[in-house]
Structure 1
Amino acid sequence: MKSAAMPPVSLQDILNQIPDYDANALPVAKAQEIIAQFVVPIHAVEKLNLRQALGRVLADNIISGINVPAHDNSAMDGYALRGQDLPSAQSKRFRVAGTAFAGHAYQREIGQDECVRIMTGAVMPDGCDTVIPQELIALHDEQTIDIPTLIVRPGDNRRMKGEDLAQGKTALLKGKILKPADLGLLASLGIGEVAVQRRLRVAFFSTGDELRSLGETLDDGCVYDSNRYTLHAMLTRLGCEIIDMGVVKDDPASLEASFRNACENADVIITSGGVSAGAADYTKQMMAQIGDVAFWNIKMRPGRSMVFGKIESNGKSAYLFGLPGNPVAVMVTFYFLARHALFILMGASAPPLPVIRVNSTMAIRKRPGRTEYQRGILASQANGELGVSITGAQGSGILRSMSEANCMIVLHEEQNNVAVGDKIEVLLFDGFI
């Protein structure tokens, strides 16, 4: 059963608070703001073994119950001694009192000008606070070593008790998407099971009489449906539970049945196609009948036509993102408008986007008044600096451009044409797509 909490206000209440709101010319930043205000995280938790928790969203803060490490220990193989005994003016000879192995504490305290041979990770012997790396000493015989002057300082090469994590301190924050290092950190605290948010359930389908699924005959005027495959991949990367509802024909009865079915089985519905002004585009009409919806023409390219809202059916509700039909527009609207909302719904702290500013290696046409997302190739130039160029034709149906690109060039609403050498904003695909 779904457990999404109802928002305190309707979508229309939020829209009423937006100065100069224009449903036919909404800036990207305003669209992002409205979506973020309206969506409410789901609240359902399950416990998983660490090996199953990779990529899941942490449901509670993790407080360290122990010190890591539990004792002062050596950061390398060498010889442990008292820092106050280090030579200052000339080399000095030390007697080797014994050996300390990892997992076996050295039991006696050393005296002046004594040292203990120590292995990486071994507990520091009582009285010792410094480790000389073994490659820096001169072995006199099995019982004595010579240490040169000024090679280390008192306290060097010692890991302090609780240096990694101190008992009672916060190790991981609620909302973190668990990565391999996080699982290792939990294991270092002796935690074998962790509470995570349940997966966000997302139903999606494509609309259009011209669409054919893979394996079907491609009739004249028809195209294979690529959007469901990019959506499936993008949702999989986010760790969602996915419900693929296939292709839905352009007729009101089929659309309403699909919307209601999706609404009753998912937290979020994502559609592609059927949101423009075309005669067969019934999506907006259907959404208006069964939900609280804003109809947007967003000032962006690609992806001008997009619908967002919340629909209800038989006492259940789901957020809805009605994306355009063109393949590149689907990906751009997903990444720049839907993605952050999905993180919020998952209860996740959305990772910051990897944005850098680099030189454009070519002139790029751009008119003010809309945000443009152009597919780019970031590469090192002859002078060693990074530069970016577009992949070629930027039509919203050219999916090849997304495959060839390694970044997105973000040209903001107020920007004009870009000249060679101008600094422009680039969003790296690595870690994003």
Structure 2
Amino acid sequence: MAKIPPIPLGEAQARLLALASPLPIERVDVSGAIGRYLAEPLLARRTQPAADLSAMDGYAIRSGDLEGPWRVIGESAAGHPHGGPIHPGEAVRIATGALMPADAGAVLLQEDIARESDAIRFIGELPEPPDKHIRRCGLDFREGQVVLPAGIRIGPAQAALAIAAGHKHMPVPRRPRVSVIDSGDELAADPDLCAKHQIPASNALMLTAMVRGLPVDATRFGPVPDTMDALAETLEQASDSDVIVTSGGASVGDHDLVKPALEAWGAKLDFWRVAIKPGKPILVATRDTDAGRQLIIGLPGNPVSSYVTAFLFVMPLLRHLLGASEPLPRRFRTTLGAAVPATTSRQEFRRAAWNGETVEPLAVQDSGALASLSASNVLIDRPPHSPAGQPGDAAWVYWLENGGFA
């Protein structure tokens, strides 16, 4: 039987996202929606500004009455409008954000005015056009207008806009439940009790910290021994999760039991092995239950491979479940500051440091080297069969929210 080759990254990501079922939508208060993704377009319930306002401190006059002098007949402050109309030869002292008086069509800046008692005269340059310093009704948005599209992540500015548009609640998909499982006999739960044949268990903590950068409910399990019984018991404990992420045991060795354990648990393998470096032995499976579809992503055990595949698969999946319109990570273009080797048939992601102008790959690229991962703030994206890159060549990179100097 012919060996099935690894699939390309783009195809693997598309297949993973296509497996996900939408999560139920809930309405939460605006402050509770920050960090989540909008499930439906948000329409303004009011107009902003609701009336013409002054954009500057000064004096409001009629638009056809620009020669002066004028007599000051009152004041309009923010929240305290002037009560009556304004006639030719009259002016109203006005503050930034205050309601324009009826019939007023121009604002003269206070620094362009000479005032003696209630008489003012103009000593500067007239505004051009006359309404230059007026915020017109509806300048920001109007009632019924879409102010936020579905799929946008709600940050402080979006939350403020929602409130300004008249909303106290926002529709968002419910928070995904995520279980992260660390497996392997070589893992020591306590770094103080780590024998020479062991390594401290760090992947689950790393992965849990990554997913908690999104609005999810995450639970960490492990380290789990390399036995079918132990894996089955842990999978059962995670059976109410929307997404299960395993680290380790996804390869083909005699002690790599994640794949058979998932199959015995009732999960169906969708794909296994992706043409990337690091992270080739990633697997994706699904398990359909009465409560809905669970998605399982089996990541490699080497910590850098685990991090990179979580960045490329787990995080996009969670953003997709959360309703993001653009769940995949974004690249940006920069320039190589040092040489990089040619690539083979796999797409490569090299840890690197970007200084704002150029990017330099780190010397150690071994998939078990956490120190170089910690020192990197970007991944250089190198397509399959790329020639060697030289300083000054263009390069695509992914930004990592990786602590350190970020």
TM over 0.5: yes
Q: 2:375 aligns with which of 382, 400, 404?
A: 404
Is the CA contact (8 Å cut-off) linking 1:364 and 1:418 kept in structure 2?
Answer: yes
- 1:351 CA drift (Å): 5.7
* 1:84 alignment partner, SS class: coil
- 1:199 CA drift (Å): 0.6
Aligned to 2:46: 66
Separation in 2, partners of 1:328, 1:116:
67
Aligned to 2:15: 34
**Counterpart mapping for 1:29-428 below 5 A:** 29-43=10-24, 45-86=25-66, 92-214=68-190, 217-262=193-238, 264-289=239-264, 290-312=266-288, 317-350=293-326, 353-380=329-356, 386-428=357-399
The residue type paired with residue 60 of structure 1 is E
Seen in structure 2, the aligned counterparts of structure 1 residues 341 and 363 have a Cα distance that, compared at 3 Å, is same
Seen in structure 2, the aligned counterparts of structure 1 residues 353 and 135 have a Cα distance that, compared at 3 Å, is farther
Share of identical aligned residues, percent? 31
The residue type paired with residue 24 of structure 1 is P
Is the CA contact (8 Å cut-off) linking 1:95 and 1:145 kept in structure 2?
Answer: no
Q: Please, which moves more after superposition, 218-227 or 408-417?
A: 408-417
Q: Please, which moves more after superposition, 115-124 or 336-345?
A: 336-345
The residue type paired with residue 355 of structure 1 is R
Separation in 1, partners of 2:401, 2:134:
37
* 2:48 alignment partner, SS class: coil
Separation in 1, partners of 2:141, 2:127:
29
Is the CA contact (8 Å cut-off) linking 1:368 and 1:416 kept in structure 2?
Answer: no
Separation in 2, partners of 1:97, 1:122:
16
**Count of matched residue positions in the alignment of Structure 1 and Structure 2:** 402
* 1:364 alignment partner, SS class: coil
* 1:244 alignment partner, SS class: strand
Is the CA contact (8 Å cut-off) linking 2:203 and 2:306 kept in structure 1?
Answer: yes
- 1:224 CA drift (Å): 0.7
Q: Please, which moves more after superposition, 311-320 or 192-201?
A: 311-320
* 2:380 alignment partner, SS class: strand
Is the CA contact (8 Å cut-off) linking 1:212 and 1:218 kept in structure 2?
Answer: yes
Aligned to 2:400: 429
TM superposition score normalised by structure 2: 0.91
Note the alpha carbon deviations across 1:150-187, whole angstroms, 9 max, x for none: 45422112112122221111222333332111221222
- 1:198 CA drift (Å): 1.4
The residue type paired with residue 262 of structure 2 is M
* 2:315 alignment partner, SS class: helix
Root-mean-square deviation (CA, aligned residues, Å) is: 2.4
Is the CA contact (8 Å cut-off) linking 2:316 and 2:329 kept in structure 1?
Answer: no
- 1:352 CA drift (Å): 6.7
Q: Which runs of 5+ in 2 are unaligned?
A: none
* 2:233 alignment partner, SS class: helix
* 1:98 alignment partner, SS class: strand
Seen in structure 2, the aligned counterparts of structure 1 residues 417 and 110 have a Cα distance that, compared at 3 Å, is same
Separation in 1, partners of 2:85, 2:293:
69
- 1:245 CA drift (Å): 1.6
The residue type paired with residue 71 of structure 1 is A
- 1:214 CA drift (Å): 3.3
The residue type paired with residue 321 of structure 2 is L
Is the CA contact (8 Å cut-off) linking 1:23 and 1:295 kept in structure 2?
Answer: no
- 1:148 CA drift (Å): 2.5
- 1:35 CA drift (Å): 1.1
Separation in 1, partners of 2:402, 2:66:
48
Seen in structure 2, the aligned counterparts of structure 1 residues 301 and 352 have a Cα distance that, compared at 3 Å, is closer
- 1:23 CA drift (Å): 4.2
Is the CA contact (8 Å cut-off) linking 1:270 and 1:323 kept in structure 2?
Answer: yes
The residue type paired with residue 39 of structure 1 is A
Is the CA contact (8 Å cut-off) linking 1:374 and 1:408 kept in structure 2?
Answer: yes
Is the CA contact (8 Å cut-off) linking 1:96 and 1:115 kept in structure 2?
Answer: yes
The residue type paired with residue 50 of structure 1 is V
The residue type paired with residue 373 of structure 1 is F
TM superposition score normalised by structure 1: 0.86
The residue type paired with residue 36 of structure 1 is L
Note the alpha carbon deviations across 1:123-145, whole angstroms, 9 max, x for none: 11111222222223333544213
* 1:359 alignment partner, SS class: strand
Is the CA contact (8 Å cut-off) linking 2:191 and 2:200 kept in structure 1?
Answer: no
Separation in 2, partners of 1:325, 1:24:
21
The residue type paired with residue 396 of structure 2 is E
* 1:243 alignment partner, SS class: strand
